[in-house]
Copies of this chain bind each other. A is one copy, B any other.
Amino acid sequence: MSLLAVGTVAFDDIETPFGHAEMAIGGAATYITLAASYFVKDLKLVSVIGDDFPQAELDYMRSRGIDLEGLQVKQGEKSFFWAGKYHYNMNDRDTLDTQLNVLADFKPVLPDSYRDAKYVMLGNLTPAVQMEVIRQMEKRPEIVALDTMNFWMDTALEELKEVLQKIDILIINDEEARQLSEEYSLVKAAEVIHKMGPEYIVIKKGENGALLFGADQVFFAPALPLAEVFDPTGAGDTFAGGFMGYLASTGDKSFSNMKRAVIYGSAMASFCVEKFSIERLKGLTGEDIRSRIARFVDLVHFDAKI
C-alpha cells in the first residue's frame, strides 16, 4: 500500500569519536523513505530543500521508488542544516549548529496523487506542519504515525496535543515519553499518552531497544548488541521508516504484525548506525535484511519449559 512521509531532507555535519562527516545527506524524511523503500514501492515524500541539494542524491531516491513530486525546491535558498557532536558513549550528543533555512516558512503542499495515501508517517517537524499534512488528506488514512521531540513539547505543546488526537501511533524516545506524560515509569507514561489520542505507543530506548504498547498489550524488542556504533544519526527515523514500511507492505494492523514491524524497524536501525549518514541504507539486499531479522530471533529466543 502507499506510504506518505513528511519530514526534513537536509545536510548534517556529524562528529563522532570515529570521524567527521561534512555536509552529509540527512533529514528525517530521507531516512524514513530510504528505510521504507525496502518494503514498499509506492512511496511519497513531502519536504522542502534549497537549490544546494545534490541532484545525484535526488536521482538515487527516485531510483528507490520514492516519489518526489511533493518535495519543494526553493531556488536561491539553502537546505536545512544541522551540526552535532556525539559523546564517547554515542548516546548523548551536543547540537553545535542548526540552520532552518528553507524550513523557516515551510508550508507543505500535497500533490493530488498523494492525498489518498493509506499510510502516513509524520516525521519530526512543527506540530502545525504535521497537522497541515493531515488536513490535506482526502480521507482518513488507515494508519497515521507521528514522531516529535522535546523542543515541540517546550514550545508548542497545545498544537502537539491537537495533532496527537488525529494519529494512531506515536513513535518517540523514552525521555520524550517521560516529558510528554510527566510520568517516569514508561508503563504509566504509555497509559497517559494513550489517553491523549494514539492507540499505540512505540517508545525507543536507543541501545536498550524499544517498547510497543497497545491497549492492554506490551511488546519489547531489543536493540542488537553491537561492537561498534559508527554514527547513530538517523537511527530513530530509520526505525520509523522500517516500521511503517513493513506495516504498509503487509496492510495488517494486528498487534502481532505490529510486533514484527517493530523488529523490522529495529533491524533497519541496526544497519543505519554501522556507517556515516545514509551510506549503510544504500544497496541492502533482501538477504541482508532476512539474516539481520534472524539475529533478532536468536537474541531473545529461549525455551521456557514451563
Contact = CB atoms under 8 A, between A and B. Distances in A.
Interface of A: 88-90, 184-188, 191, 205, 208-209, 211, 218-222, 225-229, 256, 259-260, 262-263, 290, 293-294, 296-297, 299-306
Nearest to A297: B304
Given A185-B229, A227-B185, A263 B90 contact: no
B218 A225 contact: yes
A226 B305 CA distance: 24
11 contacts: A88-B184, A187-B225, A187-B227, A191-B227, A218-B225, A219-B302, A220-B225, A220-B299, A222-B222, A294-B306, A297-B304
A51 B191 CA distance: 48
A227 B229 CA distance: 31
A202 B301 CA distance: 16
Nearest to A260: B302
> Which 3 A-B residue pairs are closest in the complex by CB-CB distance?
A208-B208, A259-B302, A187-B227
A160 B74 CA distance: 63
A187 B226 contact: yes
A302 B186 contact: no
Nearest to A213: B225
